């Protein structure tokens, strides 16, 4: 199965998952608010964001494992059993630390999330239940392994199982009056289902997940070279390389670029895949120590990077609850929800493709790698525009239909959520470029600056702009740091054209602005049923998205690019280039 087909399957699976969660959220969230009450619902949402902070106690472990696992699967360094031995030991330590920290939060939870006396005991019990789920998350390294096999659709399928289990139990518990503790139990059951599924899949492949030490020499039979052991690795690699070579030859005939690509390909394979398999490390313990040292060297910059991202994305509800009122979190959640779902779906495109990009990089095909990242950047920006323009126009009608007018927090919250949701998926694409190449240390100063600026702006703007303050802080901090400076780093560290990166982000914006202005002018003239009924809202939103997609497709992509994307999709679906 080619990289393109795996990425397409992953993205389609992610789109299906988003559709299920969106429909489920439309039905479930109002029921939870009604059965739990606004204060309990807001406290649960705030606790979920606080738990996201506790996940930082793996100190960047999961992100650090990605380049090591990707390289091991590509045959570029380190046997898979050795990497898994280090991953398992480190993950178990991190899981225990997170669980202990969750228990330690019980005495101070009332200060972090101020609730009434009637909810305090319920919230503390939920903390204890959540600690078990954080301990189970020590198996997250298995998820990273499956993603490195370029099988994100497997992870998404298990995520769907997790969502169904969590939602069903959460609804039943809320209806039965189990309060916040019932929500925590639902989340725990879903977490257990997800991780048991991950482990079962890898054990069926005879993957040595729980080995204590690596073998003394690399064992080709013990390290699956492909995502599926039933597939021929040479067939996969040849299919991938033939596909990439044909696409590159069609899209650029520049002699210098071809020379660079050939030079990269000549250098890359000699760095690892063609080494003598009999020249393994002196001992399994020595290789394990070497991999452990490399893992720790990656963890520090990735942890700092994740800490900055956490301050930007998972502090908003906490700030609203602490500075305003826990009940205000409910309206904050409903108003920004659709923009967040679109952001997550667009970001899933990079989640579905990073493993393939890492394979290109570690196989030595550096010029092809850079070309794919530029294409992915433009596609990500274009998809964000297509999804967010209807959100900007119709979010008020959506929230009023979904939860009621009392839960709509205003146009400023919508605009800030849309701005943040455009910027973040683009920076996610760029972040993966540093992560899969092991160059994430270069992002540390920018991440620290973004986190400090975001926290200062969020806290400073909340007294002036209310619940919109945290979102404004997020959007402004990312625009002032990652959006303009990260391309400079990519040019310096990875050899990208900075100008082409900026152009890829800006390409769909003119069409998006024009579509928004046209929609803003036409919206008051449409019949009332178009914005006050679900059928009308679906039709209105769908037509807006189609018109916006047509405008973006015609203006942001030239004819050759449109043909190239069409051929890739047809190749992935039919197994051949049209």
Residue 220: how many CB atoms within 10 A of its CB?
11
- What is the biggest distance separating any 2 CA atoms in the chain, rounded to whole angstroms? 76
Using one digit for the tens of pLDDT, what is the confidence trace for 147-164? 888 787 888 888 888 999
Cβ pair 354, 6 in contact under 8 A: no
Cβ pair 168, 146 in contact under 8 A: no
Cβ pair 366, 496 in contact under 8 A: no
Cβ pair 244, 258 in contact under 8 A: no
Cβ pair 146, 198 in contact under 8 A: yes
Cβ pair 253, 183 in contact under 8 A: no
pLDDT at 314: 63
Name the residue ranges covered by the structural domains of the chain.
Answer: 3-212+286-574
When mean pLDDT is compared across 211-225, 304-318, 447-461, 548-562, the lowest value belongs to 211-225
Residue 482 C-beta-side C-alpha neighbours within 13 Å: 29
* Averaged pLDDT, 503-526: 93
Q: Say yes or no to pLDDT of 321 above 80.
A: no
- The CA distance from 344 to 301, in Å, is 24
Cβ pair 313, 339 in contact under 8 A: no
Higher pLDDT, 386 or 298: 386
Measured distance between the N- and C-terminal CA atoms of the chain, rounded to whole angstroms: 17
DSSP codes, 55-118: GGGGTTHHHHHHHHHHHHHTTSSS-HHHHHHHHHHHHHHHHHHHHHHHHHTGGGHHHHS---HH
- The CA distance from 150 to 12, in Å, is 14
Q: How confident is the model at residue 355 (pLDDT cuts 50, 70, 90)?
A: low
Using one digit for the tens of pLDDT, what is the confidence trace for 484-500? 888 998 898 888 999 99
Global confidence as pTM: 0.65
Distance of CA 335 to the CA centre of its chain: 21
Using one digit for the tens of pLDDT, what is the confidence trace for 100-126? 999 988 888 888 888 788 888 888 899
Q: Which tokens in the block code for residue 316?
A: 């908003």
Reported residue count of the chain is 578
Cβ pair 483, 427 in contact under 8 A: yes
Residue among 102, 123, 25, 49 nearest 320 (CA): 49
pLDDT at 388: 95
* Averaged pLDDT, 379-398: 94
State the angle between helix axes of 233-251 and 559-574 in degrees (0 to 180), rounded to the nearest 10.
160
Q: Say yes or no to pLDDT of 225 above 50.
A: no
Alpha-helical (H) ranges within 105-178 are 109-112, 117-136, 140-148, 152-175
Cβ pair 347, 138 in contact under 8 A: no
Query: pLDDT above 90 covers what percent of the chain?
Result: 23
For the chain, give the mean pLDDT: 79
pLDDT at 71: 77
Contacts of 541 (CB under 8 A, 6+ apart): 390, 394
Residue 440: how many CB atoms within 10 A of its CB?
28
Residue 523 has what DSSP assignment?
Answer: G
Q: Say yes or no to pLDDT of 76 above 80.
A: no
pLDDT at 152: 77
Residue among 500, 478, 360 nearest 428 (CA): 478
- The CA distance from 578 to 570, in Å, is 6
CA-only gyration radius of the chain, Å = 24
Query: Element (H or E) spanning 521, and its range?
Result: helix 509-522
Instruction: Say if residue 111 is exposed, middle or buried (CB neighbours under 10 Å; 0-12, 13-18, 19+).
Output: exposed
Highest mean pLDDT range out of 96-100, 260-264, 429-433? 96-100
Q: How confident is the model at residue 455 (pLDDT cuts 50, 70, 90)?
A: confident
């Amino acid at each position: 199965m080619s990289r393109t087909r795996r990425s397409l399957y992953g993205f389609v699976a992610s789109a299906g998952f988003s559709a299920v969660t969106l429909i489920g959220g439309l039905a479930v969230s109002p029921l939870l608010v009604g059965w739990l009450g606004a204060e309990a619902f807001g406290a649960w949402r705030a606790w979920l964001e606080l738990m996201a902070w506790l996940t930082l106690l793996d100190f960047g472990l999961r992100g650090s494992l990605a380049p090591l696992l990707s390289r091991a699967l590509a045959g570029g360094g380190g046997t898979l059993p050795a990497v898994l031995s280090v991953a398992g030991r480190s993950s178990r330590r991190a899981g225990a630390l997170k669980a202990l920290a969750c228990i330690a939060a019980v005495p101070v939870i009332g200060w972090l999330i101020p609730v009434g006396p009637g909810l305090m005991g319920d919230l503390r019990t939920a903390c204890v239940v959540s600690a078990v789920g954080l301990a189970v998350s020590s198996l997250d390294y298995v998820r990273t392994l499956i993603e490195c096999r370029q099988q994100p659709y497997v992870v998404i399928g298990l995520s769907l199982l997790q969502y169904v289990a969590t939602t069903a139990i959460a609804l039943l518990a809320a209806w039965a009056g189990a309060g916040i503790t019932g929500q925590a139990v639902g989340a725990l059951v879903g977490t257990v289902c997800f991780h048991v599924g991950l482990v079962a899949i890898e054990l069926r492949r005879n993957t040595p997940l729980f080995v204590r030490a690596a073998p003394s020499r690399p064992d080709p039979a013990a390290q699956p070279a492909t995502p599926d052991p039933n597939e021929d690795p040479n067939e996969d690699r040849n299919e991938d390389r033939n596909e990439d070579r044909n696409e590159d030859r069609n899209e650029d005939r520049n002699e210098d670029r071809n020379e660079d690509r050939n030079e990269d390909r000549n250098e890359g394979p000699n760095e690892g895949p063609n080494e003598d398999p009999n020249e393994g490390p002196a001992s399994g313990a020595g290789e394990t120590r070497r991999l452990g040292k490399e893992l720790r060297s990656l963890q520090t910059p990735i942890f700092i990077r994740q800490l900055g991202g956490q301050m930007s994305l998972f502090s908003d509800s906490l700030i609203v609850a602490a500075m305003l009122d826990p009940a205000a979190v409910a309206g904050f959640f409903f108003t920004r929800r659709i923009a967040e779902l679109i952001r997550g779906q667009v970001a899933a495109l990079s989640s579905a493709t990073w493993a393939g990009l890492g394979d290109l990089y570690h196989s030595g095909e550096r010029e092809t790698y850079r070309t794919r990242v530029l294409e992915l950047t433009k596609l990500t920006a274009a998809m964000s525009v297509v999804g967010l323009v209807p959100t900007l126009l119709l979010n008020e009608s959506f929230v009023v239909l979904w939860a009621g007018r009392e839960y709509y927090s205003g146009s400023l919250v919508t605009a800030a959520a849309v701005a943040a949701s455009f910027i973040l998926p683009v920076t996610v694409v760029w972040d993966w470029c540093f992560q899969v190449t092991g160059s994430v240390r270069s992002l540390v100063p920018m991440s620290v600056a973004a986190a400090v600026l975001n926290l200062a702006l969020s806290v400073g703007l909340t007294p002036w702009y209310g619940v919109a303050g945290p979102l404004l802080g997020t959007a402004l901090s990312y625009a002032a740091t990652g959006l303009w400076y990260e391309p400079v780093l990519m040019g310096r560290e990875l050899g990208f054209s900075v100008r082409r990166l900026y152009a890829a982000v800006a390409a769909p914006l003119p069409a998006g602005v024009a579509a928004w202005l046209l929609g803003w002018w036409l919206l008051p003239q449409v019949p009332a049923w178009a914005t006050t009924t679900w059928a009308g809202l679906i039709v209105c939103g769908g037509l807006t998205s189609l018109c916006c997609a047509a405008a973006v497709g015609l203006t942001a992509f030239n004819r050759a690019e449109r043909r190239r994307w069409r051929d890739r999709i047809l190749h992935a679906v039919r197994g051949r280039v049209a």
